[in-house]
């Protein structure tokens, strides 16, 4: 198994990039690093290729996939028009970890967009953009994990979930959390918190807001979500995760459960002198960077205990992922 994994993991050089691009053009799947997490890509204009993504991930067919473009010309092949607000965001954040939901052209198979008339698009930075440019076609790519597992931030995570897929290894990804998804119409709203913060977006568009907690109808049933993917519980860690909203309750619980593994800011390690600890760093940027790897940890410990972070800046994204990963929030 380990040998098979290594065989399909390729350090990035001109040759492996060319091979990856050729595979994408042939309708095959390729996993590659982006600045957010690793993606599992296929030619977005080839329905059969896109179907392989859904099959490999076990992804529900009502969860649309983000399309990656290398330049504005490629963007025009997939979207009908670019409203002024989207233009302003692209100028500031592209290439980068911001996804925009725009009206789609008919050339984009409805499988990609789960039947919606809109398509989510982004222009990634670095290697991912080079690969899309080399492939010469827009690339549909969700995160390269089996549906429901934490997103992969290293090539080894990808190989764990997909030992038979060709993986480009670019080392650990820069942000460690997925792109921010913004819809422009019918109203300007953040559908998914991500690597670009609400505060950063507001400097360009002061009216932009987060979609907030899933809305509930009067009878308590969840209202239909604006962004289909956000309704799924995600990021199931290797064992139960308890998210603590208060430091004091985490400390008390940890004392009573000495075998639990504590995911905590490095600066708080001193609170758990007798405990196994997985230090996540101290700034929100460091915590985001190591979060998904921590959820995939193979270290010993009965359960994972995590502490809430303040909901501002990247903290909103970290809390969204922790809440989705948590078995219990106390
Ligand atoms: P993933 O590909 O797993 O990173 O998830 C992509 C996210 O973008 C999911 O939350 C999707 O629901 C969302 N998304 C993709 N396409 C659309 C779209 N056309 N409209 C609204 N949300 C979308
Ligand atoms: Mg995903």
Residue-wise pLDDT tens digits, 302-329: 899 999 999 999 999 999 999 999 999 9
Q: Is pLDDT above 80 for 1?
A: no
User: Does 142 sit in the ligand 1 pocket, CB within 6 Å?
Assistant: yes
Q: Does 107 fall in a domain?
A: yes
User: Does 229 sit in the ligand 1 pocket, CB within 6 Å?
Assistant: yes
Tally of domains in the chain: 2
Q: Does 83 fall in a domain?
A: yes
Q: How many CB atoms lie within 10 A of CB 228?
A: 18
Site to probe by mutation for ligand 1, drawn from 35, 64, 80 as the one with most ligand atoms within 8 Å of Cβ, is: 64
Task: Say if residue 49 is in the same domain as residue 156.
Answer: yes
Task: Say if residue 175 is in the same domain as residue 32.
Answer: yes
Ligand nearest to the CA of 229: 1
User: Does 147 sit in the ligand 1 pocket, CB within 6 Å?
Assistant: no
Task: Say if residue 250 is in the same domain as residue 174.
Answer: no
pLDDT given for residue 2 in this prediction:
61
For residue 114, what are the CA distances in angstroms to 101, 175, 190? 13, 27, 19
Q: Does 216 fall in a domain?
A: no
Residue-wise pLDDT tens digits, 35-51: 999 999 999 999 999 99
Q: Does 72 fall in a domain?
A: yes
Ligand 1 atom closest to Cα of residue 179: 4
Task: Say if residue 250 is in the same domain as residue 126.
Answer: no
User: Does 65 sit in the ligand 1 pocket, CB within 6 Å?
Assistant: yes
C-alpha to C-alpha distance for 91 and 257, rounded to whole angstroms: 50
Q: Does 234 fall in a domain?
A: no
Verdict on whether the full-model pTM lies above 0.75: yes
Q: Does 302 fall in a domain?
A: yes
Task: Say if residue 182 is in the same domain as residue 257.
Answer: no
User: Does 108 sit in the ligand 1 pocket, CB within 6 Å?
Assistant: no
Q: Does 225 fall in a domain?
A: no
Task: Say if residue 199 is in the same domain as residue 285.
Answer: no
H-assigned helices in 2-112? 2-7, 14-25, 47-57, 72-78, 84-93
Task: Say if residue 250 is in the same domain as residue 167.
Answer: no
Mean pLDDT over 247-261 rounds to 96
Report yes or no: 32 and 155 within 8 Å, Cβ to Cβ: no
Task: Say if residue 110 is in the same domain as residue 192.
Answer: yes
pLDDT given for residue 231 in this prediction:
61
User: Does 319 sit in the ligand 1 pocket, CB within 6 Å?
Assistant: no
Q: Does 233 fall in a domain?
A: no
User: Does 50 sit in the ligand 1 pocket, CB within 6 Å?
Assistant: no
* Strand bridging mode 38-43 / 139-140: antiparallel
CATH for 135 = 3.90.870.10
Report yes or no: 295 and 325 within 8 Å, Cβ to Cβ: yes
Ligand 1 atom closest to Cα of residue 142: 2
pLDDT given for residue 217 in this prediction:
41
Residue-number span of the structural domain to which 178 is assigned:
9-210
Task: Say if residue 204 is in the same domain as residue 249.
Answer: no
C-alpha to C-alpha distance for 5 and 250, rounded to whole angstroms: 38
Question: Which residues neighbour 249 within 8 Å (Cβ) at sequence distance 6 or greater?
Answer: 330
* Last residue of one domain, picked from the residues 193, 210, 227: 210
Ligand 1 atom closest to Cα of residue 63: 12
C-alpha to C-alpha distance for 224 and 114, rounded to whole angstroms: 15
User: Does 104 sit in the ligand 1 pocket, CB within 6 Å?
Assistant: no
CATH for 320 = 3.40.50.11030
Query: What distance in angstroms lies between residue 299's CA and the mean position of ligand 1's atoms?
Result: 32
Task: Say if residue 202 is in the same domain as residue 114.
Answer: yes
pLDDT given for residue 237 in this prediction:
86
* Last residue of one domain, picked from the residues 158, 193, 210: 210
Site to probe by mutation for ligand 1, drawn from 149, 227, 320 as the one with most ligand atoms within 8 Å of Cβ, is: 227
Q: Is pLDDT above 50 for 115?
A: yes
C-alpha to C-alpha distance for 36 and 52, rounded to whole angstroms: 22
Average pLDDT, the chain: 92
Task: Say if residue 132 is in the same domain as residue 272.
Answer: no
Ligand nearest to the CA of 145: 2
Task: Say if residue 271 is in the same domain as residue 324.
Answer: yes
Token pair listed for 157: 């995570």
């Amino acid at each position: 198994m380990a040998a098979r994994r290594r065989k399909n993991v390729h350090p990035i050089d001109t040759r492996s990039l060319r091979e990856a691009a050729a595979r994408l053009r042939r309708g095959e799947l390729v996993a590659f690093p982006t600045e957010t997490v690793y993606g599992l890509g296929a030619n977005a204009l080839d329905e059969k290729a896109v179907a392989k993504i859904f099959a490999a991930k076990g992804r529900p067919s009502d969860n649309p996939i983000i399309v990656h473009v290398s330049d504005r010309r490629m963007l025009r092949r997939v979207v009908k028009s670019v409203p002024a607000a989207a233009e302003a965001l692209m100028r500031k954040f592209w290439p980068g970890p911001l996804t925009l939901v725009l009206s789609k052209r008919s050339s984009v198979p409805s499988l990609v967009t789960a039947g919606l008339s809109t398509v989510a698009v982004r222009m990634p930075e670095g290697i991912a953009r080079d690969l899309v440019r080399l492939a010469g076609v827009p690339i549909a790519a969700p995160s390269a994990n089996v549906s429901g597992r934490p997103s992969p931030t290293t090539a080894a995570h990808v190989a764990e979930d997909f030992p038979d897929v060709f993986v480009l290894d670019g080392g650990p990804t820069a942000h460690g959390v997925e792109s921010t998804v913004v819809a422009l119409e019918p109203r300007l709203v953040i559908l998914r918190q991500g690597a670009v913060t609400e505060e950063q977006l507001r400097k360009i568009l002061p009216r932009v807001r987060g979609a907030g907690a899933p809305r509930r109808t009067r009878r308590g049933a969840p209202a239909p979500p604006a962004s289909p993917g956000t309704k799924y519980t995600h990021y199931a860690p290797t064992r139960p995760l308890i998210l603590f909203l208060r430091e004091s309750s985490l400390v008390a619980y940890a004392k009573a459960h000495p075998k639990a593994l504590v995911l905590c800011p490095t600066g708080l390690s001193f609170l758990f002198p007798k405990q196994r600890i997985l230090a996540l760093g101290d700034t929100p940027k460091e915590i985001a960077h190591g979060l998904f790897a921590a959820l995939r940890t193979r270290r010993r410990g009965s359960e994972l205990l995590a502490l809430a972070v303040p909901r501002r800046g990247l903290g909103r994204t970290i809390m969204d992922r922790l809440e989705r990963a948590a078995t219990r929030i106390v």
